[in-house]
Amino acid sequence: MTAIRLRAGGRPWRPGAWAGSVIKTGGFGLVIGLIVWETLGQTLRYTFLPPASRVAGRLVDLVTSGQILPALATSLTNLALGFAISLGFGIAIGLGMGVSRRLAASLDPYVNALLTAPSLVFAPIFFSIWGLGRQSIVALIVTYSVFVVIVNTSAAVRAVSSDLHEMARSFDTSAAQTFRWVTLPAATPLIFTGIRVAAARAVKGMINGEMFIALIGLGKMIQDAQHQLDATTVIAVLSIVVAVALLLITAIDRIDMRLNGWLPRTERGT
């Protein structure tokens, strides 16, 4: 198979090689965790801790019966819309705050206040505005994730060394050229740090919105299972939610590696 070259050191990369690396490094710990889980579940026999084998069987039943796929499609649609809006507005506003001190001084108190506020308290507000529609859930996902992107993007731009700007000015570059070719590339690694955190918060917002605003998607399945005290189904659906979060963060890491592969590993933070 023809090797594809990455910019990071020019080392060859083959499709699926990164997945094999993840399996090798994390697979052993996963197997041990599953064995411990299965042993505790079979030994203790607590209703809230079903064995891993039973959860896996329930997950297979949900997939083969067709129950999980429509719910998953609904949840992924909500997540994609909310996270895309968060990235668009978060990066744009964050870049503006990073470049303009006046804009940063105007927005910083509100952004930080909304970042620290419990995001779930906005659920009744969105419900009163949009009702049980998708808009309420998407708005909650945005509330969970957009402020993290804004804060990290703004901090990333402000953290760019002044020496880099002075070097750019010595080549008689315009402000737009300095931003495009110096500030933005230097800030990108820290921006992606915020995007990773925002991705995890977006998944949390998705589930909370579906559970507490409109009973749809994976959130509805968890809520229904909770009402029936069905811990096996709850954990089975939660495993899907965790898998969605891990796949999203993995995709972000792949994009980060493509854009920042020229940096040393210590600077990329990986």
pLDDT digit string, tens, across residues 240-265: 999 999 999 999 999 988 887 766 65
Q: What is the pLDDT of residues 97-129, one digit of tens each?
A: 999 999 999 999 999 999 998 888 898 899 888
Closest CA to 152 of 210, 118, 193: 193
**Residue 190 · residue 155 · CB < 8 Å:** yes
Q: What does the mean pLDDT of the chain come to?
A: 83
Q: pTM of the entire structure?
A: 0.80
Joined together, the tokens standing for residue 173 give 């570059």
- Between 89 and 269, name the one with better pLDDT: 89
- Report if residue 255 sits inside a domain: yes
Buried b (16+ CB within 10 A) or exposed e, 7-46: ebeeeeeeeeeeeeeeeeeeeeeeeeeeeebbeebeeeee
Other beta carbons within 10 Å of 188: 17
Provide the domain count of the chain.
1
- Dist CA 198 CA 215 (whole Å): 23
Residue with tokens 């083969």: 64
Model pLDDT, residue 73: 93
For residue 117, give every residue at least 6 positions away whose Cβ sits within 8 Å of its Cβ, in sequence order, or none: none
- Report if residue 118 sits inside a domain: yes
* pLDDT for 211 beyond 90: no
As a whole number, mean pLDDT of residues 123-150 equals 91
- Report if residue 58 sits inside a domain: no
Model pLDDT, residue 258: 86
- What are the φ/ψ torsions at residue 160 (nearest 5 degrees)? -65, 130
- Between 268 and 116, name the one with better pLDDT: 116
Virtual CA dihedral for 95, 100, 101, 107, nearest 10 degrees? Answer: -60
- Report if residue 34 sits inside a domain: no
Q: What would the 3-class secondary structure string for 178-199 be?
A: HHHHHHHHHHHHHHHHHHHHHH
- Report if residue 264 sits inside a domain: yes
Provide the percentage of residues in the chain whose pLDDT is more than 90: 39
- Report if residue 173 sits inside a domain: yes
Q: What is the pLDDT of residues 215-242, one digit of tens each?
A: 888 888 888 888 888 888 889 999 999 9
Residue 13's SS3 state is strand
For residue 24, give every residue at least 6 positions away whose Cβ sits within 8 Å of its Cβ, in sequence order, or none: none
* pLDDT for 6 beyond 80: no
CA 53 to chain centre: 28
- Dist CA 187 CA 17 (whole Å): 28
Residue with tokens 């020496």: 163
- Report if residue 4 sits inside a domain: no
User: Up-side HSE of residue 219: CA atoms within 13 Å toward CB?
Assistant: 20
Model pLDDT, residue 82: 95
- Structural domain span for residue 169: 73-268
Closest CA to 232 of 56, 97, 92, 74: 56
* pLDDT for 204 beyond 80: yes
Q: Report the CATH number at residue 102.
A: 1.10.3720.10
- For residue 84, CA distances in Å to 22, 61, 65, 197 come to 27, 32, 31, 14
- Report if residue 113 sits inside a domain: yes
Confidence bin at 22 (pLDDT 50/70/90):
very low
**Residue 62 · residue 222 · CB < 8 Å:** no
Model pLDDT, residue 265: 55
Model pLDDT, residue 9: 45
